[in-house]
Amino acid sequence: MTELTNEQIHDTLVLPYLNHAARMFEAGYASAVDIDNAMRFGCGYPKGPLTVIDEIGADAVRAGLRARFLTSGDDLHDPAEVLNTLAHDGRSFAESGSAAGASAPELKQQITKVGVVGTGTMASGIVQVFAQAGYDVVFVGRGDDKIAGVVAFIDKGLSKLVEKGRIDEDAKAATLGRLTGATDREALADVDLVVEAIAEDLAIKTDLYRDLDRICKPGAILATTTSSMPITSLGAVTSRPEAVIGMHFFNPATIMKLVEVVTTEATSAEVNETVLAVCAKVGKVAVSCGDRSGFLVNCLLFPYLNDAVKLLESGAATIDEIDEAIKEQAGFPMGPFALLDVVGIDVSLAIQQELFAEFGEKGFAPAGTLETLVAVGSLGRKTGEGFRAY
Q: Active site residue: 10, 19, 248, 293, which one?
A: 248
Question: pLDDT tens, 38-94?
Answer: 999 999 999 999 999 999 999 999 999 999 999 999 999 999 999 999 999 988 998
C-alpha angle 330/293/234, rounded to 5°? 140
- Which amino acid type is present at position 157? G
Q: Active site residue: 92, 98, 293, 298, which one?
A: 298
The answer to whether 20 is a known catalytic residue is no
Q: Active site residue: 98, 227, 306, 348, which one?
A: 227
The answer to whether 248 is a known catalytic residue is yes
pTM for this model (two decimals): 0.94
Q: Active site residue: 19, 92, 98, 260, which one?
A: 260
Residue 99 pLDDT exceeds 50? no
Please provide residue 196's backbone torsions phi and psi, each rounded to the nearest 5 degrees.
Answer: -90, 130
CA dist 114 and 205 (Å) reads 19
- Mean model confidence pLDDT for the chain: 95
CA dist 319 and 317 (Å) reads 7
- Which amino acid type is present at position 84? N
Provide the 8-state DSSP code for 224.
E
The answer to whether 88 is a known catalytic residue is no
Question: pLDDT tens, 169-220?
Answer: 999 999 999 999 999 999 999 999 999 999 999 999 999 999 999 999 999 9
CA dist 126 and 210 (Å) reads 22
Q: How far is CA 80 from CA 69, 89, 210, 277, in A?
A: 12, 15, 41, 33
CA dist 183 and 146 (Å) reads 9
The answer to whether 385 is a known catalytic residue is no
Question: pLDDT tens, 211-270?
Answer: 999 999 999 999 999 998 899 999 999 999 999 999 999 999 999 999 999 999 999 999
